């Protein structure tokens, strides 16, 4: 049976893999999204991550497309109790309200719940920090959603250690529900956004990290080996890794993958899952074959030598 992990000091338990929903309504249409979601749950997956802003960046979209697809899938399968849904607020403006305006939060959660076709979400995240707002007022708005039964657990995303600490202090001072999870970027190519002050704070305060871009926008799958390979919807994000930064990391991953009979994606995610403070990495898929490959990371256990080799290669890469 798959080992479940708590997300911070909460009652949410997940295998060490969360399915990213940013592709739903973007690079995965409704049929492909349904197939991916079905395969994820069939393979033991429990938590699905989305946001109200997915995929507002596509011409003709207005945001909420991913939530809508997930809501339709939940309705189609006729059950909600065996999956957990994460969504976020703070990047999709509503009227003249933006970011973490306390007046936007109750409107946004209701809109997300309508699109998802459910009366609660398991984890609700502040999608980005907003230093223009009073953190006590923001905390009160999030707490109201918890008290109303619309949200089980709160979290934050794209926060620094300093701002996360001040947010928790405001929550504690007001007697409000605390952030129990953090979602920052973290992978073998991008380590600075978590390691150091953020990681230390999360470990010390029982905050579960659920990092996004676990595969570095696909680079860590090994499909971008040269400049000629850099194409597709996310190509602009991976080009920086191809020249100078990534080959050493991929070489180390190739060796670990060969030793375990694993894919590079599985190695990349298993490395994240083995780091202190990590609850589960997030990765997305646009096909059943991709999600089945990702699910293999749940059972992959890297040896101390594997972890050391990957650590060394990625640290050298960062220093280069």
For 156-168, write each residue's pLDDT tens digit: 999 999 999 999 9
Count CA atoms closer than 13 A to 160's CA, side-chain side.
Answer: 5
The greatest distance separating any two alpha carbons of the chain, rounded to the nearest whole angstrom, comes to: 55
> Does residue 269 form part of some domain?
no
Give the span between the Cα atoms of 26 and 7, in whole angstroms: 28
pLDDT at position 317? 40
pLDDT at position 239? 76
> Does residue 131 form part of some domain?
yes
- Give the tokens for residue 247: 């080959």
pLDDT of 2 above 70:
no
Query: Across all residues in the chain, what is the average pLDDT?
Result: 94
Structural domain count of the chain: 1
**Alpha-carbon distances, residue 231 vs 217, 237, 238, 293 (angstroms):** 12, 10, 9, 21
Neighbours of 188 (CB within 10 A): 27
**218-267: pLDDT as tens digits:** 999 998 887 767 776 656 677 788 877 799 999 999 999 999 999 999 99
**225-234: pLDDT as tens digits:** 877 677 766 5
Q: 282: closest CA among 45, 108, 99?
A: 45
pLDDT at position 237? 74
> Does residue 280 form part of some domain?
yes
**139-197: pLDDT as tens digits:** 999 999 999 999 999 999 999 999 999 999 999 999 999 999 999 999 999 999 999 99
Contacts of 266 (CB under 8 A, 6+ apart): 257, 260, 293, 294, 296, 297, 300
Say whether 303 sits in a helix, a strand or coil.
coil
State pTM to two decimals: 0.95
Q: At 173, which CATH number?
A: 3.20.20.100
208's enclosing H/E stretch is strand 208-209
Q: Give the domain extent around 90.
A: 5-219+275-299
> Does residue 177 form part of some domain?
yes
Say whether 262 sits in a helix, a strand or coil.
coil
**89-133: pLDDT as tens digits:** 999 999 999 999 999 999 999 999 999 999 999 999 999 999 999
Taken as a whole, the chain contains a residue count of 320
> Does residue 293 form part of some domain?
yes
Contacts of 261 (CB under 8 A, 6+ apart): none
> Does residue 246 form part of some domain?
no
> Does residue 287 form part of some domain?
yes
> Does residue 245 form part of some domain?
no
Give the span between the Cα atoms of 211 and 189, in whole angstroms: 13
Q: Identify any residues that bridge with 19 across adjacent strands, giving them in sequence order.
A: 48, 283
Give catalytic residues, as residue numbers. Answer: 54
pLDDT of 318 above 70:
no
- Give the tokens for residue 167: 């947010």
Cis peptide, bond prior to residue 55, ω within 30 of zero: yes
DSSP state of 123: E
């Amino acid at each position: 049976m798959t080992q479940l992990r708590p997300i911070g000091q909460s009652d949410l338990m997940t295998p060490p893999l969360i399915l990213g929903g940013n592709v739903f309504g973007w690079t995965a249409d409704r049929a492909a999204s349904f197939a991916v979601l079905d395969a994820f749950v069939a393979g033991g997956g429990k938590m699905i991550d989305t946001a109200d802003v997915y995929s507002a960046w596509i011409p003709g979209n207005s945001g909420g497309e991913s939530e809508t697809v997930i809501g339709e899938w939940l309705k189609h399968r006729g059950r909600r109790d065996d999956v957990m849904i994460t969504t976020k607020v703070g990047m999709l403006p509503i009227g003249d309200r933006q970011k973490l305006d306390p007046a936007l939060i109750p409107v946004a959660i209701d809109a997300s719940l309508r699109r998802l076709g459910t009366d609660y979400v398991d984890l609700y995240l502040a999608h980005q920090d907003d230093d223009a707002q009073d953190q006590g007022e923001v905390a009160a708005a999030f707490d109201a959603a918890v008290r109303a039964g619309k949200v089980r657990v709160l979290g934050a995303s794209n926060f620094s250690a300093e701002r996360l600490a001040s947010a928790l202090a405001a929550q504690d001072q007001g007697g409000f529900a605390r952030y129990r999870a953090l979602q920052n970027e973290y992978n073998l190519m991008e380590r600075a956004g978590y390691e150091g002050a953020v990681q230390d704070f999360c470990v010390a305060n029982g905050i579960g990290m659920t990092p996004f871009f676990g595969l570095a926008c696909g680079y860590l799958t090994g499909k971008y080996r040269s400049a000629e390979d850099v194409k597709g919807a996310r190509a602009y994000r991976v080009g920086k890794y191809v020249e100078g930064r990534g080959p050493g990391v991929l070489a180390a991953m190739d060796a670990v993958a060969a030793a375990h009979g694993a894919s590079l994606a599985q190695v990349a995610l298993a490395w994240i899952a083995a780091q202190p403070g990590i609850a589960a990495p997030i990765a997305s898929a646009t096909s059943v074959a991709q999600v089945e490959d990702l699910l293999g990371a749940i059972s992959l256990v890297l040896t101390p030598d594997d972890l050391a080799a990957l650590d060394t290669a990625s640290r050298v890469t960062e220093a280069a």
